C-alpha cells in the first residue's frame, strides 16, 4: 500500500520567551492509504502539534514530512493552503462552521478556494448531503442544528474535495455518547467503504476503538504504536456507498 503520510524525525520547537519548548521530539510515523489511526496521549504530549503539522497548518522545525511522497515540510504558506484545500479535510471538536452561513454554503466553502464550484461539484454536494442526511437542512444555519448534525456538516465539508487524508481532532469532544457513536459510525464508513485515510485524535478509549491502529504519544515522542484492541465494528452500513 502507498504511504500517505511519512514523518521522518520531525521536531517542533517553540520559542516561548527565553524558554524553548519541544512539542515534538523527533517523531517518525508512517500512515498507509486506507488506514484509520487514533492518536492518543495526555495533554501536552504533542497531539495537537502533530495534528497541526499533519494538517499542514504548521511546518516542522526539523525533519521531513512527505504527503503522498511529496516533501511539504518546506512549502510556502500559499502552497500549504493549496495542499489543505486539495488533499486534506478537517473535522474539529468545536465543528468550526461559519455561522450565519447556510449548511450548503458551508459545505461548498473549500470549492470556492479550489475554484471548482461548477455543475459537477453541485452534483457531488447533493450526493454527499444525501448520504449524510443533510439534504433537508441545506438552507438551515448551523445554530439551527444539533451538535451531531453540525458535525456531519463539518464532515461533509471535509470530504467535499475528495481528500487523501481526513484529520479529526476530538470530533466527539462536544457531543453526547449517542451522537458520538453516530459520528464515529460515519467516520468508520468513510474509512471502510470509501477508503478515506483517517487520523483521529482522542483521549477516549471508546472512541479510539473505532480505529484500527492506535498511536500513543508522550513528551513529543511515540510511546506505543499498536493495532487497536478489540476494534469496534459497527453494524454494516452502506450509507457511504453512493459517494464516489
Partner 1 sequence: MPSLFKIALRAIMRNKMRSSLTILGIVIGVGAVIAMVSIGQGAKIMVEKQLESLGTNVLIIIPISTTHTATRGTTGTITLTAEDAFAIEKECSAVSYVSPGVRTTTQVVFGNLNWTTSVSGVGSDYHIIRNWPMESGRFINQQDINIMAKVCILGQTVVTNLFGTLDPIDKWIRVNNIPFRIIGVLSAKGESPTGQDQDDVVLMPYTTVQRKIMGVTYIGVTLASSVSAEARFEAIEQINSLLRQRHRLRPNEENDFTVISQVEFASTIMETSHTMTVLLGSIASVSLIVGGIGIMNIMLVSTTERTREIGIRMAVGAREKDILFQFLTEATVLSSIGGIVGVILGIVLSRLISYYGGWPSLLSPLSIAVAFLFSNMVGIFFGYYPARKASRLNPIEALRYE
Range in contact with partner 1 (rule: CB under 8 A) among 32-40, 89-97, 193-201, 206-214 = 89-97
The nearer residue to partner 1, 125 or 208, going by C-beta atoms, is 125
Q: Of residues 3, 8, 58, 68, which one binds partner 1 by CB under 8 A? A: 58
The nearer residue to partner 1, 124 or 192, going by C-beta atoms, is 124
The nearer residue to partner 1, 129 or 208, going by C-beta atoms, is 129
Give the nearest distance from C-beta 5 to partner 1 in angstroms: 18
Using rule CB under 8 A, residue 84 touches partner 1? yes
Q: Of residues 114, 144, 146, 205, which one binds partner 1 by CB under 8 A? A: 114
Q: Of residues 85, 172, 180, 191, which one binds partner 1 by CB under 8 A? A: 85
Identify whether the C-beta of residue 194 lies closer than 8 Å to the C-beta of residue 126: no
Using rule CB under 8 A, residue 43 touches partner 1? no
Q: Which three cell numbers stand for residue 20?
A: 524553548
The nearer residue to partner 1, 65 or 90, going by C-beta atoms, is 90
Instruction: Please choose, from the candidates 167, 107, 168, 116, the residue with its C-alpha nearest in 3D space to the C-alpha of residue 134.
Output: 107
Angle at 213 between CA 63 and CA 81, to 5 degrees: 45
Instruction: Please choose, from the candidates 76, 77, 74, 1, the residue with its C-alpha nearest in 3D space to the C-alpha of residue 32.
Output: 1
Angle at 166 between CA 189 and CA 235, to 5 degrees: 15
**Taking the alpha carbons of 193, 195, 196, 197 in that order, is the dihedral positive or negative?**
positive
What backbone phi and psi angles, to 5 degrees, belong to 4? -80, -50
Question: Rounded distance, CA 98 to CA 79, Å?
Answer: 24
The nearer residue to partner 1, 30 or 101, going by C-beta atoms, is 101
Binding footprint of partner 1 on the chain (CB under 8 A) = 52, 55, 57-58, 77-78, 81-82, 84-86, 90, 92, 96-98, 100-101, 109-110, 112-114, 117, 157, 161
Amino acid at each position: 500500500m502507498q504511504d500517505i503520510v511519512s514523518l521522518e524525525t520531525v521536531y517542533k520547537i517553540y520559542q516561548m520567551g527565553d524558554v524553548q519548548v519541544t512539542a515534538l521530539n523527533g517523531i517518525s510515523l508512517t500512515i498507509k492509504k486506507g488506514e484509520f489511526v487514533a492518536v492518543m496521549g495526555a495533554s501536552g504530549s504533542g497531539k495537537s502539534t502533530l495534528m497541526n503539522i499533519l494538517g499542514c497548518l504548521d511546518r516542522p522545525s526539523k525533519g521531513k514530512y512527505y504527503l503522498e511522497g511529496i516533501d511539504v515540510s518546506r512549502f510556502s504558506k500559499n502552497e500549504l493552503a493549496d495542499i489543505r484545500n486539495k488533499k486534506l479535510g478537517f473535522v474539529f471538536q468545536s465543528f468550526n462552521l461559519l455561522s450565519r452561513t447556510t449548511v450548503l454554503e458551508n459545505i461548498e466553502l473549500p470549492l470556492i478556494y479550489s475554484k471548482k464550484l461548477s455543475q459537477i461539484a453541485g452534483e457531488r454536494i447533493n450526493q454527499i448531503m444525501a448520504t449524510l442526511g443533510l439534504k433537508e437542512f441545506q438552507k438551515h444555519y448551523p445554530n439551527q442544528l444539533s451538535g451531531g448534525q453540525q458535525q456531519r456538516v463539518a464532515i461533509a465539508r471535509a470530504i467535499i474535495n475528495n481528500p487523501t487524508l481526513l484529520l479529526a481532532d476530538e470530533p466527539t469532544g462536544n457531543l453526547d455518547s449517542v451522537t458520538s457513536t453516530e459520528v464515529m459510525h460515519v467516520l468508520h464508513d468513510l474509512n471502510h467503504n470509501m477508503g478515506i485515510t483517517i487520523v483521529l485524535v482522542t483521549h477516549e478509549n471508546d472512541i479510539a476503538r473505532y480505529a484500527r491502529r492506535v498511536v500513543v504519544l508522550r513528551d513529543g515522542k511515540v510511546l506505543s504504536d499498536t493495532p487497536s484492541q478489540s476494534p469496534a465494528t459497527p453494524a454494516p452500513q452502506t450509507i457511504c456507498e453512493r459517494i464516489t
